[in-house]
Amino acid sequence: MEGSSKVIHAIYTDDDVLMAAVKKVRAERYHIEEIYTPFPVHGLDKVMGLAPTRLAITSFLYGLVGLVVSIVMINYMMIEDWPQNIGGKPSFSYLENMPAFVPIMFELTVFFAAHLMVITFYLRSRLWPFKEAENPDIRTTDDHFLIEISAGTNVDEQFDILRNTGAVEVTLIDKAH
């Protein structure tokens, strides 16, 4: 059938059983399309063989942008545009007053890193307002775990392997692209 492919959904009720099942499925060289879980499972990304995320690098760069923006903003507002004598501190240069500006620089660094990371995460995950949910089984939002693997030529063998790993339910799904 053109425009569709077959996948196998295996449902699990325990995250430890899921981890063992993922190890077994990968050892059998089956391709795992996706895993749906109701909460983050620690170590699942390593067991799946996923590459480490580069989001930490982008967070650091976003923090640097926030630091630069804060320095430019403080220098313009407090030194060049409207210098004020606050608490007897002279406002002749940025460097003389920099210790007083450290909290502002810290807060803007964190602000930029946090907000831009949220935007980056949503864009990278292709999440946006009013997006239709892609979850294939509503139970995975509560207390079940689902492994979705590509159906090979020997589906019965795949079913047996998944059942032997502790799957409580295994089904063949015709998934449209």
pLDDT confidence of residue 41: 94
pLDDT: which is higher, 42 or 127: 42
Say yes or no to pLDDT of 1 above 60.
no
Give the contacts of 96 (CB within 8 A, at least 6 positions apart). Answer: 89, 90
Tell me, which fold does domain 4-38+143-176 have in CATH?
Alpha-Beta Plaits (3.30.70)
Instruction: Give the rounded distance of the alpha carbon of 25 from its chain centre.
Output: 23
- Please report which confidence band the pLDDT of residue 14 belongs to, taking 50, 70 and 90 as the band edges: very high
Q: pLDDT of 75-108, one tens digit each? A: 999 888 888 777 777 677 888 888 888 999 999 9
**Contact between residue 170 and residue 162 where contact means Cβ atoms under 8 Å apart:** yes
Q: pLDDT of 123-171, one tens digit each? A: 988 888 888 888 888 898 899 999 999 888 888 899 999 999 999 999 9
Q: Give me the residue spans of the domains in the chain.
A: 4-38+143-176, 55-124
pLDDT confidence of residue 152: 81
Alpha helices in the chain (DSSP H): 15-27, 44-48, 55-74, 94-124, 155-164
**Contact between residue 169 and residue 8 where contact means Cβ atoms under 8 Å apart:** no
Q: pLDDT of 68-77, one tens digit each? A: 999 999 999 9
pLDDT confidence of residue 103: 94
pLDDT confidence of residue 96: 81
pLDDT confidence of residue 177: 56
